[in-house]
Amino acid sequence: MTKSRNEIYVWVKWLSQLMSGDINCQWAPWFKSHYTGYKKMPSDFQLAVWTVEHTQLLDDLVKQRVAMNEATYLEDQNSFKVNRPSGLIIAGKPDLVTVDINGHCKVFDAKTGSPKQSDIIQVMLYMMCLPFASPLYKGKRLNGCVVYKGGTISEIPEKAVDDAFKKQVKYFLIY
């Protein structure tokens, strides 16, 4: 049963798809942000297949980062909700965040599909939000990286999350 949310709730993935133009319907993320419990269209998406592929890709990435002597924080350990003064909540769950021996942090997202701009924007949103949401990352500047199943890697420097990007985020949160 569809119910109105108590607050406006924005999941990072919805916002990144809207910002990148992957979705052109502005109403869909607005509706999901304001309502819960709605019926979803049936899908032929193979969740079990995706889960296995994603888990393997993420496991390989963790092994690589551990071999580099980095501390690793996985999915639920990185789950966050940033409460904005307006009452809006931005939430997300990066796949992996690492901290090297010098304290440098990096946000990773593992993708099993083809590269999309929304993937990079999704990680940039994580990079922007995590310092406000977790004491571990408070006051830190984060780099990012999208790792694809086919071996493609998209590095995202911390300077990508600049004032212009933050202004664009605010623009899309107005919807």
Q: What is the pLDDT of residues 57-113, one digit of tens each?
A: 999 999 999 999 999 999 999 999 999 888 899 999 999 999 999 999 999 999 999
Average pLDDT for 112-133: 96
Within 10 A of 139 (CB to CB), how many other CB atoms are there? 6
Q: Cα dist. 105→26, 54, 128 in Å?
A: 33, 22, 12
- This prediction has a pTM of 0.93
Give every CB contact of residue 24 below 8 A, 6+ residues apart in sequence: none
CATH number at residue 136: 3.90.320
Q: For position 85, what pLDDT does the model report?
A: 85
Q: How many domains would you assign to the chain?
A: 1
Q: Between 175 and 132, where is the model more confident? A: 132
Rounded CA separation 88/134 (Å): 18
Residue 175 confidence class, pLDDT cut points 50, 70, 90: low
Q: What is the pLDDT of residues 137-172, one digit of tens each?
A: 998 889 999 999 999 999 999 999 999 999 999 999
Rounded CA separation 16/129 (Å): 13
Which of 48-52, 91-95, 120-124, 146-150 is the least confident region? 48-52
Rounded CA separation 153/115 (Å): 9
Rounded CA separation 110/53 (Å): 10
Q: For position 89, what pLDDT does the model report?
A: 95
Q: Between 48 and 155, where is the model more confident? A: 155
Q: For position 141, what pLDDT does the model report?
A: 85
| Position 44 pLDDT exceeds 80 | no
CB 19 within 8 Å of CB 169: yes
- The β-bridge partners of 35 are 4
Range of the domain at 115: 3-173
Q: Kindly report the length of the chain.
A: 175
Rounded CA separation 143/166 (Å): 16
